[in-house]
Amino acid sequence: MAETPTGLTFNRRASGLKKTSAGIFCCLVVLVVSCTFLYSRYLTSLFPVENLAVTNNREPTQIMNLDDTLNFGARKGVETRTSWKAPIIWEGMFDPNLYDQKHIQNQTSVALTVFAVGRYLDAYLKTFLTSAEQHFMLGLKVIPVEKHSRWQDISMMRMKTISDAIESDIHHHCKYVFCFDVDQEFKGRFGSEALGDSVALLHAGYYKAPNNSYTYDRNPRSKAFMETGDYYYHAALFGGLLENVKNLTNYCFLNIMEDKLNNVEALWHDESHLNKYFWINKPSRLLSPEYCWEPSIQDKDIHVIRLIWAPKNYDRLRTG
Ligand SMILES: *[C@@H]1O[C@H](CO)[C@@H](O)[C@H](O)[C@H]1NC(C)=O
Ligand SMILES: *[C@@H]1O[C@H](CO)[C@@H](O)[C@H](O)[C@H]1NC(C)=O
Ligand SMILES: *[C@@H]1O[C@H](CO)[C@@H](O)[C@H](O)[C@H]1NC(C)=O
């Protein structure tokens, strides 16, 4: 039943990501706050020469809207813009230097949350964080924040935890937040080109599939029920401006709670509710499946793998 979230503790720790207590679900939220100096140093010393399809050579200071530099014709065979004109970000469409320079000028700050439960903490967290240090919004500073909860329902807990973390902590430091599942590993640049007001990820398994195969929730009794939609989004990551992500997580949490009261559960848990949210509130930016690829799928349109995803089984973990 829907209880109020009691017993949550929120301890800022200087370092160390160890699981502190066995037998309860642990949720670890890692905040990453940008450090402008490191970011700039990275750019001047490590950035390779780019050979991009982007032809715009204006100084970054003169560019009003960075997304006007996107080359929507750079990629044949894949969709680079939605019907509501949101860009779908693919390798070759953007100039990474330009995006990074502009965000450094603006001192853009990005928080990263990663949600790790039970054995996932041990199994995946180290790989996730080590690879994030190498590829995610490079040069950022990590502030780990550990949370514990006795909630049984993992997908419900995640949305609530992210919403709480935005409210209590992230909003002091950051403008944007990206939320990740932990069972993923960064393999290539996941940079400032991914930042946007409201960011959704195209699911690797469905982005080329006909829309009648999308696994939306089809149960009219669930709040996540959808008959039709734009795309099938993957909940393994989502992001955007803090206020938008807070709105999304609150929406999903409240609808999951309502489903629980009605004794229904959406087909793909919080992913079903996320898809419903993005159907009603169109994302302003879509990330191609490069940003979370399933390596067992062969696809010639994936030129760069930025993050890989390992499927998991929530049900196995849902024990008392
Ligand atoms: C930088 O800040 C300016 C002024 O607030 C804003 O118009 C612009 O969109 C920002 N650019 C980026 C890349 O965030
Ligand atoms: C699939 O997309 C078409 C065209 O946009 C639309 O008319 C149809 O309703 C969609 N079907 C489903 C099952 O979502
Ligand atoms: C927040 O979500 C609600 C519910 O979908 C929506 O009506 C509202 O427009 C959203 N607000 C923002 C700022 O996105």
Query: Which atom, in ligand 3's list, is nearest to the CA of 247?
Result: 1
Percent of the chain past pLDDT 90, that is, above it, reads 47
Q: Which among 245, 253, 294 has a CA at the least distance from the CA of 154? A: 253
Provide the mean pLDDT of the chain: 78
Q: Which among 113, 121, 129 has a CA at the least distance from the CA of 162? A: 113
Q: Which among 14, 47, 211, 35 has a CA at the least distance from the CA of 110? A: 35
Q: How far is it, in rounded angstroms, from Cα 80 to Cα 93?
A: 9
pLDDT per residue as tens digits for the range 249-295: 999 999 999 999 999 988 988 999 999 999 999 999 999 999 999 98
- 212 Cβ inside 6 Å of ligand 2: yes
Percent of the chain past pLDDT 70, that is, above it, reads 70
In degrees, to the nearest 5, what angle opens at C-alpha 290 toward C-alphas 279 and 302? 120
Query: Which atom, in ligand 1's list, is nearest to the CA of 99?
Result: 13
- 228 Cβ inside 6 Å of ligand 2: yes
Q: How far does the centroid of ligand 1 lie from the alpha carbon of residue 65, in Å?
A: 8
Query: Hey, is 163 helix, strand or coil?
Result: helix
193 is catalytic: no
- 184 Cβ inside 6 Å of ligand 3: no
| Domains recognised in the chain with CATH numbers | 24-42+66-317 (3.90.550.10)
- 211 Cβ inside 6 Å of ligand 2: yes
Query: Which atom, in ligand 1's list, is nearest to the CA of 102?
Result: 13
